[in-house]
Homo-oligomer: A and B are copies of this chain.
Amino acid sequence: MANDIPDIVIGRLPVYLRALRRLAQDGEKATTSSQELGERLGISSAQIRKDLSHFGEFGKQGTGYHIDYLIEQLRHILHLDVEWPVVLVGAGFLGHALASYGGFHRRGFRIVWIFDNDPEKIGVKMGGILVQPVEELEDTVRAEKARVAILAVPASAAQEITDILVEAGVQSILTYAPISLVVPENVQVQYSDPVVQLQRMTYYLHP
C-alpha cells in the first residue's frame, strides 16, 4: 500500500495541529472554521478543507470543526497518539538546547538518549539525560528500537552518523548539519540549516 496522499499535504498537518492546540489553549470557543484557521495561517480555507478531506469528514456544515476532536484526529493521522523516543546525536551547544527544550513533551516526542564523541561531554547530564559515547550509538539504537533521531553534529560527521543510524534501524532523521544527506528511500529526512533559511530570504531584500 503506497502513499496516496501528497507529501505537501502531510507537511501542513502539523501546522494545523499547532494552530488548533493554540485555539484549544485559549479556550474561547469549542469550534473553529476553515476560514478562521486559514486567516491565522495565511492559507486559503479551500486548501484546509481539501487537505483534511483526504482523511475523512471532520467538520459539520454551518458550524465548522470541533477543535478538540480535530486535534485528536490529526494526532491519530500523524501517529502522535504514542510518544516517540528520540535519539539525539551531538552534545554541543545545539544539542544542549535541544536536550533542554521543553517543547517536545506533549507534542509526541521525548529525547531519551544522547551521544557524543567528546570525552569531555561523556558522562555529563543534559536535560536530565546522561551523554553516552558515540561508540555505543549503533547497539543502543538497535536494542532499543529507536526510529527517530536528531542530528546535531558538524557537517564532517553527519553522513557517517547517518549511515550508522540507518543501519541500526532509524527511519526519521531531523538534521541540523549543513549538508545534504544520502539515505535509502524508506528513510525520511527533515533539514534545518539556519543559513539556508536565511539565504532564502535575502533574495527578496534589495541591498
Q: How far is the CA of A17 from the CA of B197 in the complex (A)?
A: 12
User: In the complex the two chains form, is B14's CB within 8 Å of A200's CB?
Assistant: yes
Give the interface segment out of A44-52, A59-67, A72-80, A133-141.
Answer: A72-80
Give A69-88 as 1s and 0s: 1 = Cβ < 8 Å from B's Cβ atoms.
Answer: 00000000111101010100
Residue among B79, B93, B178, B197 making CB contact with A207, cutoff 8 Å: B79
Query: Does A100 lie at the interface of the complex (its beta carbon under 8 Å from any beta carbon of B)?
Result: yes
Closest to A183 in B: B42
24 contacts between A and B (CB under 8 A): A14-B199, A15-B180, A17-B199, A19-B180, A22-B179, A41-B180, A78-B199, A78-B203, A80-B199, A80-B202, A86-B198, A93-B101, A97-B97, A107-B195, A108-B198, A147-B205, A148-B198, A148-B205, A150-B194, A174-B201, A188-B200, A190-B201, A192-B192, A192-B194
Give 15 new A-B contacts, CB below 8 A, not counting A80-B199, A174-B198: A10-B200, A11-B200, A15-B180, A17-B199, A18-B179, A18-B195, A22-B179, A41-B180, A79-B202, A79-B206, A101-B194, A107-B199, A147-B205, A148-B198, A148-B202
User: In the complex the two chains form, is A196's CB within 8 Å of B15's CB?
Assistant: yes
Task: Using C-beta atoms within 8 Å of the partner chain, give the interface range for chain A.
Answer: 35 or more
Closest to A105 in B: B195
Supposing A19-B180, A179-B22, A204-B172 touch, asked if A199 and B13 sit within 8 A by C-beta, the answer is yes
- Give the Cβ gap from A52 to chain B, nearest Cβ, in Å: 14
Residues of B within 8 A of A179 (CB): 18, 22
